[in-house]
Structure 1
Amino acid sequence: VIGQTTDQAVDAVDKFLDEASLGSRSQVRIVHGHGTGALRRAIAEMLQDHPHVARFAAAPQDQGGSGATLVELR
């Protein structure tokens, strides 16, 4: 979602999570980049209440670190 506005990124991630859940995925990685942190914050806020999300956290350093978020799906 790098380069998208926060609204575009939130919409894209919401659709991605729906598709991932339907595809029986248990975990996904969202790459939002470092930048100003606006995308990371907007996505984290959306993930908190998303029905498909069990938990989420910053990715390990070898998977993007603070520039990516790992999401465990329900």
Structure 2
Amino acid sequence: DWTFYCHKCDGMASLRTCPHTKEDRVILSGTKLRKALSEGADIVDHFGRDEVLDHLKEYYAGLTEKVEVKMQGAASGDSM
């Protein structure tokens, strides 16, 4: 069962426990996070602790060779 953060439930939920729509969910995918960090994109609220995200952003910003992260299948959350 998929788990995610639901803005309307204001907490972690699953497809069995949350009646809300896909638009209300934040899929917590490591691949999605790595892709956003490697592209310098904003990280959505509730994706992680601020102090951890700050360290990760600093690390990715300091890379001399940029890494391309490809989203495939379940990592995108589109199948939910």
**TM-score in terms of structure 2 length:** 0.26
Q: Relative to total residues, which structure has the larger helix share, 1 or 2?
A: 1
Instruction: Compare relative contact order (CA 8 Å, sep 6+) and give the higher one, 1 or 2.
Output: 1
Q: Compare CA radii of gyration and give the structure with the larger one.
A: 2
Q: Relative to total residues, which structure has the larger strand share, 1 or 2?
A: 1
**TM-score in terms of structure 1 length:** 0.27
